[in-house]
Amino acid sequence: MNTSKPVSKVLVLDDCPAHAQALKLFFDEHNLIALKVRDSNRLGSVLATNIDLGGVLLADNYGGSVEQAATTAARINALRPELPVILRSSGNAPLERLPKPLTNAACAHFNAADLTALREAVDQYIFSLDFPNALVRGIAEITQARLATLFDGVTVQRDTPSIVRDRIIFGEVFSLIPLEGNWCRGYMLMQAEEEPLLGMIDRDRAARDPGMGAGQPGFRDLNDVLGELTNLIWGAFKNRFLAQQNAREASQVQVPLLVNHKHRYISFGSDNPQLRFQYRLSDAASGQSVSIDQRFVFNLSWSPEDFSENAVDVDDLVESGELDLF
């Protein structure tokens, strides 16, 4: 697996052990993390709780028959229509003779004897956007540095960046800020669970002002912290990746964002995958921790060939006092 590139998680619904080793090798070579459902009866809950999936690989005889596989495909399509379903053909029946719910749900199909079609499907439907390494690395550096200053004495850890197509909201609170440049237009989304973040705010207040007896933090305090964090990251992102971008003169396309609070669902009006970062802030002394989910959605414009990173001039750092000459 190439650790310098983002990964993507794929839900594998395939009972056949004959191709398991070949598929496992393929997943490793193509930066895919394969997940399996131990109990097929829990598929619904798995789809509802896994918010970082990039796609689904489904065998046309999953569950013992094409009819059972078709039922599974229909459930996936109903619960998570944004997830691309790649169908593995067992060869027992021609594609045109498979049940319509099965073929209609699949975006592509392949035979395990030749994984060329699978590779093409992964490139087209999962890794359809090529995120420059400098961008991925830079986002992680920027965000970790700002998170480290958010609370005193916390340790910041980061998971491997991933490509996701999920539209499920993480936690109860999120911030959204637009990103505008010649090479991209979209949004940065910061998400968190309310209670752990409130607990971290309370811990931080007590540590900074012991004995002051400050009241319990409320949702407005949480909004302030997440808003401040979003602004800090956005400012650093803008300076590093967008500072030399010229504003576009032409009228720009906008699309509505749709949020369904009941189903914890958000849509940016595009099928483009999202670049996801997951951070954990933890305090060893108290045992408290909070997860921050960060996503970049370039739904309005994406031209990675025009991407550029603004190199920091050493002379400017010396002049500003950030560096001293030896």
Structure confidence at residue 213 as a pLDDT band (50, 70, 90): low
User: Is it the case that residue 111 has pLDDT exceeding 80?
Assistant: yes
Residue 50 CB coordination number (10 Å): 17
Residues 250-271: pLDDT tens digits?
446 677 888 887 888 888 888 8
Task: State which of 86, 110, 126 marks the end of a domain.
Answer: 126
Query: 80 and 223, same structural domain?
Result: no
Parent domain of 77: 8-126
Is residue 326 a part of any domain in this protein? no
Over the stretch 176-212, which tens digit does the pLDDT of each residue have? Answer: 999 998 899 999 999 999 999 999 999 888 877 766 6
pLDDT of residue 16: 87
Answer whether residue 104 is part of any domain.
yes
Span of 50-64, 203-217, 228-242 with lowest mean pLDDT: 203-217
Is 12 within 8 Å of 57 (Cβ atoms)? yes
* E-state strands within the chain: 8-13, 32-36, 53-59, 85-89, 106-111, 155-158, 162-164, 173-180, 184-192, 258-260, 265-267, 274-282, 289-302
Q: What is the pLDDT of residue 325?
A: 38
175 and 146, same domain (yes or no): yes
Q: Are residues 53 and 171 in the same domain?
A: no
Q: In angstroms, rounded to a whole number, what is the distance separating the alpha carbons of residues 311 and 239?
A: 10
**Residue 22 pLDDT > 60, yes or no?**
yes
Closest CA to 46 of 16, 70, 76, 84: 76
The answer on pLDDT for 226 being more than 60 is: yes
* Contact yes or no for 66/60 (Cβ under 8 A): yes
DSSP string, 2-37: -TTS-BEEEEEE---GGGHHHHHHHHHHTTEEEEE-
pLDDT of residue 138: 93
Indicate left, alpha or beta for 222 from its phi (over 0: left) and psi (-120 to 50: alpha).
alpha
Cα separation, 250 vs 247, in Å, equals 9
Strands (DSSP E) contained in 183-273 are 184-192, 258-260, 265-267
pLDDT of amino acid 214 = 60
311 in the same domain as 221:
yes
**83 and 118, same domain (yes or no):** yes
Question: Does residue 105 share a domain with residue 184?
Answer: no
Question: How many domains does the chain fold into?
Answer: 2
pLDDT of residue 212: 60
Asked if the model's pLDDT at residue 34 lies above 60, the reply is yes
Q: Are residues 119 and 167 in the same domain?
A: no
CA distance linking residue 96 with residue 113, whole number of Å: 19
Residue 2 lies in a domain: no
- Write the CATH number for 156: 3.40.1550.10
Buried residues in 230-245 as b, exposed as e (16+ CB within 10 A): bebbbebbbebbbeeb
In-domain check, residue 91:
yes
* Whole-prediction pTM: 0.78
Question: What CATH number is associated with residue 78?
Answer: 3.40.50.2300
List of E strands, 127-273: 155-158, 162-164, 173-180, 184-192, 258-260, 265-267
* Least-confidence region, from 25-39, 84-98, 183-197, 208-222: 208-222
pLDDT at 174 over 80: yes
The percentage of residues in the chain with a pLDDT greater than 70, rounded to a whole number, is 89
Q: Which two tokens stand for residue 57?
A: 């690989």
Q: With 90 as the cut, is the pLDDT of residue 58 above it?
A: yes
Residues 102 and 140 in one domain: no
pLDDT above 90 covers a percentage of the chain that reads 50
Which of 93, 126, 159 is the C-terminal boundary of a domain? 126
* Any domain includes 244: yes
As a whole number, mean pLDDT of residues 71-92 equals 90
225 and 82 part of one domain: no
Q: Yes or no: say if 53 and 9 are a contact pair by the CB < 8 Å rule.
A: yes
Does residue 143 belong to any structural domain of this protein?
yes
CA distance 199 to 213: 15
Where among 126, 152, 178 does a domain terminate?
A: 126
Higher pLDDT, 40 or 274: 274
**Tokens 């996503």 sit at which residue?**
295
Q: Are residues 277 and 175 in the same domain?
A: yes
* Same-domain pairing of 155 and 45: no
Q: Which is higher by pLDDT, 94 or 119?
A: 119
Q: Compute the chain's Rg from CA coordinates.
A: 23
In this prediction, residue 179 carries a pLDDT of 93
Any domain includes 3: no
For the chain, what is the mean pLDDT?
A: 86
My answer on whether 75 and 166 are in the same domain is: no
Among 33-37, 218-222, 261-265, 270-274, where is mean pLDDT lowest? Answer: 261-265
Whether 325 is covered by a domain: the verdict is: no
| Interatomic CA distance for residues 38 and 101, integer angstroms | 24
Specify the pLDDT at position 244.
65
